[in-house]
Amino acid sequence: MAQRVHRPGLPGDLSGPRRLWARAATLGLLATAGIGGDTYEATGDRLRCVNPDGSYWWTLTLHGGGRAVFSGQDADGSQGHLRAEPVELLATAPSWLPQDELRARQTARELGYVYWSDGAGWARAPYPDDLADDGLELSAGWVGDDEEVAEELWDAAGGGDDMADAVLAFLDRAETRTVDADAVKALLDACSPKEPPSVEAALGFAVKARLTPGA
């Protein structure tokens, strides 16, 4: 059974940065091919997801040496910014984080959580004991387990008998940056979407997300 993310989230809920990137990029790749309703952007070592209805957003950035930052907000789940005294999400953040960008979002109350990894594990600022949720589980419940990704994509694709196995196999290729046209086609062939997915669009996203050899 897939691991459930705590509410509010805990640093231990997140898998390692490279596996997290593989999951996030796979979601983006399939959305770009027409499977899934969210909007994704991939530029170098940055992945961003925005729900068109404004329900949530998240951003994952890699910073070298195993460092990574995962930030976002859920319209219903994130509660730290709604308090009379908002939670200081950057209270213990190291200086290498994109402080200006995150601080601007926090000031605008557009930030629900910030998790960072120094290569040895994830961390976040301390939360008040009475904070019920930071929105991590609702906006990105897949951060802790491959099966959550497979389940989410199975729903978006409208089923598919071999979907789960295909997703898990693709995640391994994505993590090791060995994705090619055959790997993309095998993943898309396992889906059963209403409209035929675009192999070309999916492969283009894989290149942007650096999932391919030489990335």
Report the DSSP beta bridge partners of residue 60: 47, 70
CA distance 154 to 35: 9
Residues 6-15: what's their mean pLDDT?
96
Give the predicted TM-score (pTM) of the model.
Answer: 0.94
**DSSP H stretches of helix in the chain:** 17-32, 99-107, 136-140, 146-157, 163-175, 181-189, 199-208
55-81 mean pLDDT: 96
What is the tens place of the pLDDT at every residue in 136-156? Answer: 999 999 999 998 888 877 777
The count of other CB atoms within 10 Å of the CB of residue 28 is: 25
Confidence of residue 2 (pLDDT cuts 50, 70, 90): low
Residue 192 has pLDDT above 90, yes or no: no
- CA-based nearest residue to 132, from 71, 91, 87: 87
Q: Is the dihedral of CA 38, 98, 123, 75 positive or negative?
A: negative
- Number of Cβ atoms within 10 Å of the Cβ of 199: 15
pLDDT surpasses 50 at 215: yes
Whether 65 and 98 have beta carbons less than 8 Å apart is answered as no
